Amino acid sequence: MRIALRAAAIALLALAAACESYNPLRWMGVIHGPAHPPTPLAPIEAKVTPSAVWRASVGKGMGLHLRPAIAGGKVYAAAADGTITILAEDDGHVLSKIETKKPIAGGLEVAEDGTILAGTLKGEVIAVEPSGKVRWASHVAGEVIAPPAVSRNIVVARTADGRLFGFSLTDGKRLWVYQRPTPSLLLRSPAGVLAIGGDVVAGYPNGKLIALDLDDGKLVWEVTVTQPRGATELERIADVAGLPVIDGANICAAAYQGKVACFEISTRTAVWSREISTARSLAIDAKNLYLVDDTGAVHALDKKAGASVWKQEKLLYRDLTAPVVFDGKVVVGDLQGFVHVLSPDDGALVGRLATDGTAVVSLVSGLSGLYVQTAGGAVLRVRY
């Protein structure tokens, strides 16, 4: 037993060293700080002035990548201790607080009827009424570190070991489970899944992107984003760990230690691919696909052909969030609590906002603002 534990520890430490600024051990609280010193911030020529329209305190994240949800004029945000705070979207005042007393891990999703959905570190998927009553809690025997997704009254949740579950939104009854063999080493990703119409789309280890039927969880199609390479299990990690993006008839995804690729959905034909490694979700606008690679460089690729448009390297090793597009600009957050605004044309840093000095753990782009949640428990609505 000691030999097995020691081997597991060595594997995890090797994974930490290999993953550069993407570091699963730091997410789990085993180690602290980045593998490389963060690049110091240089002065910028500001073209926009991001500011906080309001900020609220919702409780600390305790190293988790918690993500707020915006629905019906309200902002829903969770703390690691299970507190859900509901804020007014216009001015940030607290409408209510719900004490679930469950260790919420991946942030929240809100169904059309106002039901709040979350996963926990203790292997539960929970549905909470707007009144604060827990409607149901279903066990999945594995950590749920990503927000569930919901479509057509079916809730889809993913466990940290890669299994996917479908539940009835009404009563939490398990409708289906999808699982497949996974390698012994995989990235601990908070990305979750996409549930769109009657399909569930998820990234998988070994460079796979899959789609399931929402009603029964059966595999509809899969494509290979990248092939695992290398002699060791560590070198062969090729997980599609971030959320893909859908762009009309195409879908694009990226793999750690692999490629970024776009496919035609109807035929699953590869449109283009590029050798860039990332474990974060992608963002897209009318012209470009945006991503943050494993060193913290921000890339813009032409979404039609995959050609490089620009690469911004002034934020290396700052443990950046996945990029989002808001109000015509590209935005990322970093480990020191700064929100950075980049030009979509050339990648220049054109705006910067300091939050509370703790890591920005998630950014959500909404119609009325950019929503920022920090490790210290602040939620901000940002405009520029």
SS3 track for 104-173 = EEEEEEECCCCCEEEEECCCEEEEECCCCCEEEEEECCCCCCCCCEEECCEEEEECCCCCEEEEECCCCC
CA–CA separation, 78 vs 66, rounded Å?
7
Q: Which helix (H) or strand (E) holds 26?
A: helix 24-27
**Is the confidence at residue 237, as pLDDT, over 90?**
yes
In this predicted structure, what is the pLDDT of residue 190?
Answer: 86
Count of other CB atoms within 10 angstroms of residue 171: 10
Q: Mean pLDDT over residues 251-265, rounded?
A: 97
Q: Mean pLDDT over residues 325-334, rounded?
A: 98
Strand order from edge to edge, sheet including 378-383:
51-57, 378-383, 370-374, 360-365
SS (H, E, C) 238-293: CCCCCCCEEECCEEEEECCCCCEEEEECCCCEEEEEECCCCCCCCEECCCEEEEEC
In this predicted structure, what is the pLDDT of residue 20?
Answer: 41
Q: Mean pLDDT over residues 304-319, rounded?
A: 98
| Segment 92-149, tens digit of pLDDT | 999 999 999 999 998 999 999 999 999 999 999 999 999 999 999 999 999 999 999 9
Say if residues 85 and 95 touch (Cβ distance below 8 Å). no
**Is the confidence at residue 377, as pLDDT, over 80?**
yes
C-alpha distances out from residue 93 to 53, 354, 368, Å: 12, 21, 16
The confidence band for 189, taking pLDDT boundaries of 50, 70 and 90, is confident
